[in-house]
Amino acid sequence: AVPYETGISGNSLGTGKALTIYAIPEKKAKRFNINLLKRNGDIVLHFNLRFDEKAVVRNALQAGEWGKEEREGKVPFEKGVGFDLTIKNEPYAFQIFVNNDRFCTFAHRSNPHEISGIQVQGDLELLAIQIV
């Protein structure tokens, strides 16, 4: 059920690892987001789909301060249509894929080895989460 939050151990999502989320946006969805968290409450990656703004916003929260939003790219999601979102943790950036198509790159703004949790919030049905 959403909102969903889970901790992940050690370096489960360190560089070289990938997180895949399988979900379906609700038919009346306005927004949903996926956050990769650090123990101190920082958000290493905030991936926010905004149907109401026709945008996918990426950002990071460090020491209580949001950074510069990144919004490039068309919205690759449809209401009521299932998707898989893969976030690959590369040495210098997150590579983000939607349905196996590269969507964007988000450069690391903090240590990519310190991810300790995942949050999924908003108007979607969460089917599965996988880390490989």
> What domains are defined for the chain?
4-131 (2.60.120.200)
CB 19 within 8 A of CB 86: yes
Question: pTM of the entire structure?
Answer: 0.95
Per-residue model confidence (pLDDT) at position 59: 98
Q: How far apart are CA 25 and CA 31, in angstroms?
A: 9
The more confidently predicted of residues 10 and 114 is 114
Residues 73-118: pLDDT tens digits?
999 999 999 999 999 999 999 999 999 999 999 999 998 889 999 9
Residue partners of 93: CB distance under 8 A and separation at least 6: 105, 106, 107, 108
Residues 14-29: pLDDT tens digits?
999 999 999 999 999 9
